[in-house]
Structure 1
Amino acid sequence: MPGNDGLVIALLGAGRSSRFGREDKLLAMLGDRPLIAWAAQAGLGIPAAHHLLVSGPDARLAAACPGYVLLPNPHPEDGLASSLRIAAGAARGLGTTALLVLLADMPFVDAGHLAAMVTQWDRDGSQPLFSRRPGGPPQPPALFPAAFLPMIEALQGDRGARALAGDALIVETQADRMIDIDTPADLARAADYLRALDPGEQT
């Protein structure tokens, strides 16, 4: 895939899972693997210079994401922006040309969608790219050219990088691919969805 030599992929998994209960939702099983492993696998499907995992101190999260370099987030209570700042700072230090951000609680984002984003970046590398389900708002996965990393490092709170979505390019995908998991009920629905898929689509 052209243009990937300077690409950094960051998987963000430092959320507090407050709506999930006492269990860390990212370690809850979905099918045959922990929830976080689904997004991690999609990220590994894209060749990149570096694959980074921003997460809390639980070593089990890193163990579920082989192929990723762990960047601990010491202050996950500061919201999503804290993880984005860590990822952007690391990517800038690595001399990246672009940062592709994935969220660890979105298990059905696939490598095909990520590849479409990278292809769009290869065509026009000047603007951020966001994903969108039909009729929905811009959301992660999102890709940021290196020029936007200082803006990400200045973000605050839990809004993430949507403040940069105003002039972003959009790559649409199926609504079901944008499912995110916040509660045990969400996880149960995701398991039902997984069982309904063709067996060839479950990996």
Structure 2
Amino acid sequence: MRVGLVLAAGQSRRFGAEDKLLAPLHGRPLCSHAFETVASLDLDRRFACVRTDAVAERAQAAGLEVLRVEGQPQQSDSLRRGLKAAQDCGATQVLVTLADMPFVPASHMADLFDMAGHDAAASSFDRQRLPPAVFSASRFAELLALTGDQGAGRVIQALPEPQILTLPAQAFLDIDTAADLERVDREAKPPKTTLK
């Protein structure tokens, strides 16, 4: 069973008072891009870990099931919440992606599933390893034991090179501030959200 998990419970402290995930990008909230891409994949279940009602509404509008993460969660808290839900429904592979990475193509995510096999596969850009990543059930216990704000970063860093897939240049966008988002909205073009 293949499951998709979008982590969308961050607090966006560097973005300012506004919720970064709801800020407009090409006419839609930033988070909606990732939600819609995951919704387009051939998966058995699709979850979004969220902290606010407004982001939950966007996830549901895209067809994702909402998992609430209370308080002021770190990345590992969201990851554990999502992995437990995936584990409970019998997942054999879980895609983990971030709601603030709007331009990762569906084809890249699909390729990660094939590359992961019975272990794991992750993405890279300019020598930096990062999500999206796919983890098989054999990795769940290791991921559930993680703590802190790095999420699955330590696991991704330890993967062998053949299990790393390079992201297209336009897919890697670091949106931390309102200025970053304005620049991206002007310059970058969104990819197709489906595999068709």
Counterpart of 1:105? Answer: 100
Q: Deviations over 1:32-83 (max 9, x none)?
A: 1100001111111211111001010x222122122111100013x3410100
Corresponding residue for residue 181 of structure 2: 187
Partner of 1:22: 17
Q: Quick one: which amino acid aligns to residue 18 of structure 2?
A: E
1:80 aligned partner: 75
Q: What does 1:162-181 correspond to in 2, within 5 Å?
A: 162-165=153-156, 166-168=158-160, 169-181=163-175
Residue 42 of structure 1: aligned partner: 37
Q: How far apart, in 2, do the equivalents of 1:46 and 1:19 lie?
A: 31
After superposing on structure 2, the runs of 4+ consecutive aligned residues of structure 1 that deviate more than 6 Å are: none
User: Partner letter of residue 63 of structure 1?
Assistant: E
Q: Paired residues, what number? A: 188
Structure 2: 5+ residue stretches without partners:
none
CA distance in structure 2 between the aligned counterparts of 1:182 and 1:139, rounded to whole angstroms: 16
Find the aligned partners of 1:128 and 1:118 in 2 and give their Cα distance. 8
Tell me the SS of whatever aligns to 1:101: strand
Equivalents in 2 of 1:42, 1:78: separation in Å?
Answer: 24
Distance 1:78 1:32 in 2: 28
Quote how far apart the aligned CAs of 1:119 are. 2.5
SS at match of 1:74: coil
Post-superposition shift, 1:147? Answer: 1.1
SS at match of 2:81: helix
Deviation at 1:202, TM superposition (A): 6.5
Q: Tell me what 1:150 maps to.
A: 141
Report the 3-state secondary structure (helix = DSSP H, G, I; strand = E; otherwise coil) of the residue aligned with 2:91.
coil
1:136 alignment counterpart = 127
**Alignment-derived partner of residue 89 in structure 1:** 84
**Percent identity at matched positions?**
35
* TM-score, reference length from structure 1: 0.87
Letter in 2 for 1:190: V
In 1, distance between residues paired with 2:119 and 2:114? 13
Paired residue secondary structure (1:19): helix
Deviations 1:89-132 (A, max 9, x none): 111111100110110001111111111112223xxx13211101
Shift of 1:182: 1.2
> Partner of 2:128: helix, strand, or coil?
coil
Mapped to 2, the partners of 1:142 and 1:109 lie a distance apart of 12
Q: Which runs of 5+ in 1 are unaligned?
A: 1-5
Task: Report the Cα offset of residue 137 of structure 1.
Answer: 1.6
